[in-house]
Chain A
Amino acid sequence: MKRYIYGTFLMLFLFLFSGCGEQGNILTGSSVGNSWYVGHGQAEIALPEDTETDEPLYIAGYHGGEEIAGVLDMPCANAVWMGTDADSGILLLGVDCVGLGSDTVYAIRSRLADFSAENGCQRVFVYATHTHASIDTLGLWGPTAVDGKNRAYMENLISSAVSAAEAAYVARKCGALYFGAAETEGLQEDSRAPYVYDETLYQLRFVPKDDSAGTRIVFFAAHAESLRGDNRLLSRDFPGVMADTIRAETGDGTLFVPGAIGGLVMTPVLLDESTVDGDPDFYIKNCTATGKALAACALSISPDDETAVLPSYAFAETEYAVPLDNTVFLYYRFLGILGNPLTRNSDSETGYALHTSCAALRLGDSITIAMLPGEIFPELVYSDTEFSAAGVGYALTDETFPSLSALAEEYGMGTLLIAGLCGDETGYILPPGDYLVNPDLPYFDGAEDDSGENHYEETNSAGIRAAQCLAEAMENVFRAVGK
């Protein structure tokens, strides 16, 4: 009898105190067919009527408590239906916003539950384009400790996502899917050492059999903030200009997907900065120039340089828990701003673990999209060497973990594309060895290392174990997709 009691306590102990690596069930799905069935849908996210709510519309990305001053261009929800037969498929939903909490993504998926059941939609993947010229959809840019989200706007966002999804399904056509890439030059800058980023723009291009307008999904690693921090105008930023330019040139509907943008990878100012003082529209012109440069890059990919993607897909998605070190995130959850569920976890600074999810979507036999819940540092994706799980003053361990590209190679995933801010926005995902927080006010105040490098990103990260937990979860989904 005693053995059972001790056993029960041991199981309870292991359950309660298991740290990084808490994995949920893996959701999988796949389909193989003879052709691709792809459709694009788009729906504008309307601003709420003044009478609908008294809640202000705060602009996201930079300063707290500042409201939008006007509209440059309206944010949209874009959806792509992808199937390998006429009766089933998956949805990729991109929303022009700074980020979406897991509660919002859950709401979108719930609203699409009937649609999914009726139309054979196996999974809805939702991501944010991370435009910093958007309405605050995470709740972080209201006044201190006040949820900055506007409930009426969030409702409009969810409705638009649903409309875009339905339109994408209706618009689906039979055709071929191609993959191509183009090297960019001078379109990125990294504000933090090591200066690592992927300069390649990747494109998935669907061409319908009837030669009508197609669909493109463009992957590029840069924060959508070419309008910069003083902007108060609502906009899709450069992804909007890029999509509009491609549509004007080809008629194709386009989705922009942010890649590995952590640390902090953004587009540079492409215009002569000496004219900035005399030109109130300087950064609007910069946004236009950036979007057009990226559109030109995408359009430069010749059909001869593209490879056909076999009509098959497989996906795997898993929930996992990250030990939550960031006290500010704990406050956000307490105040109802952060949507992610928390559970008790003795392995973190706050005593809680944050639950999130990640996924892998394999297209054909040569392309895999890693869908990551946040802004991952590029070195965590592309490094050839393993990362130590130990950090400065933290996590005394001999554990190491590989980069995502190494994992993808190990499991035969082919070319790895990164879709950041997908399913969730858990902030920056940093290498533990480069993780430094302010010793006096961790996560409230930034830190500076001996070399003078600013460690701002840590203040917007879940904790030092985020990268390791993600690597473990991604290994599980790669393994599941590879089967």
Chain B
Amino acid sequence: MNTETNFPTQNRRAVPAPTRGELLFFCLSMLTAWGVWFCALQTVRHLGDILRAPLLTDILGADTQGLLAGIFSGLSDARVEPGIFVLLCVWAVFALLFCSHNRVRRRAVLGLLPLFLLIGYILSVVCADVNGVRFYDILFSLAKMAGNGLFEVL
């Protein structure tokens, strides 16, 4: 018998408050989110250094390698969008509140926090503003021209 369906109010009251472990996990996740957001572009920037590896010169060609490495290194000048992180946090808090009457859902949401962080990380990088240009505009144009054979020509 599904008591939740029949007695939702009683059942909500019956569910215990979040445990210390859950709260700790939530706080740590938020702190990690902050750290990840803060470091997102710094870490991606190292892709630029990695792309400059001599090993890749033969594979990509010097010009393509230079272009890609330059673009990722250019992310070090990015102005990170705090709004994305704030949005992510608000989303997570609302999700937790919404599910606070149900431990299973609550733990599922907590478990999904790393996924939110990943999404936030990707959004932070993709939406990064570098010298007034959004990184997604660069990615779109690169993708468009990659389809037209840019890298073969370079």
Chain A contacts to B: CB under 8 angstroms: 143-146, 327, 330-331, 333-336, 341-343, 350-352, 440-441, 444-445
Question: A334 to B145, Cβ gap below 8 A?
Answer: no
Question: A334 to B153, Cβ gap below 8 A?
Answer: no
A351 to B141, CA, bound (A): 11
| Partner pick for B141 among A335, A350, A445, CB 8 A cutoff | A350
Given the known A-B contacts A144-B66, A330-B141, are A441 and B148 also in contact in the complex, defined by CB atoms under 8 Å? yes
The interface residues of chain A lying within 8 Å CB-to-CB of B138 are 330-331, 334
Q: Is B112 an interface residue (CB 8 A)?
A: no
Given the known A-B contacts A441-B149, A444-B150, are A334 and B74 also in contact in the complex, defined by CB atoms under 8 Å? yes
Chain B proximity of A161: nearest CB distance (Å): 24
Chain A proximity of B120: nearest CB distance (Å): 22
The interface residues of chain A lying within 8 Å CB-to-CB of B135 are 334
- In the complex, the 10 A-B pairs of residues with the closest C-beta atoms, listed nearest first: A145-B70, A144-B66, A334-B133, A440-B148, A335-B74, A145-B67, A342-B132, A144-B63, A145-B66, A327-B141
A476 to B68, CA, bound (A): 41
Question: B132 to A351, Cβ gap below 8 A?
Answer: no
Question: B77 to A336, Cβ gap below 8 A?
Answer: yes
Mark interface residues in B140-151 (1 if CB within 8 Å of A CB, else 0): 010001001110
The interface residues of chain A lying within 8 Å CB-to-CB of B68 are 145
Chain A proximity of B134: nearest CB distance (Å): 9
Label chain B's interface by main secondary structure.
helix
The interface residues of chain B lying within 8 Å CB-to-CB of A146 are 66, 70
Chain B contacts to A: CB under 8 angstroms: 62-63, 66-71, 74, 77, 130-133, 135, 137-138, 141, 145, 148-150, 153-154
Chain B proximity of A339: nearest CB distance (Å): 9
The interface residues of chain B lying within 8 Å CB-to-CB of A336 are 74, 77, 130-131
The interface residues of chain A lying within 8 Å CB-to-CB of B62 are 144
Closest to B129 in A: A334
10 contacts between A and B (CB under 8 A): A144-B70, A330-B138, A333-B131, A335-B71, A335-B131, A342-B132, A440-B148, A441-B145, A441-B149, A441-B153
The interface residues of chain A lying within 8 Å CB-to-CB of B63 are 144
The interface residues of chain B lying within 8 Å CB-to-CB of A335 are 70-71, 74, 131
A352 to B141, CA, bound (A): 13
Question: A351 to B74, Cβ gap below 8 A?
Answer: no
Chain A proximity of B57: nearest CB distance (Å): 12
The interface residues of chain A lying within 8 Å CB-to-CB of B132 are 333, 341-343, 352
The interface residues of chain B lying within 8 Å CB-to-CB of A440 are 148-149
| Partner pick for B153 among A143, A327, A330, A445, CB 8 A cutoff | A445
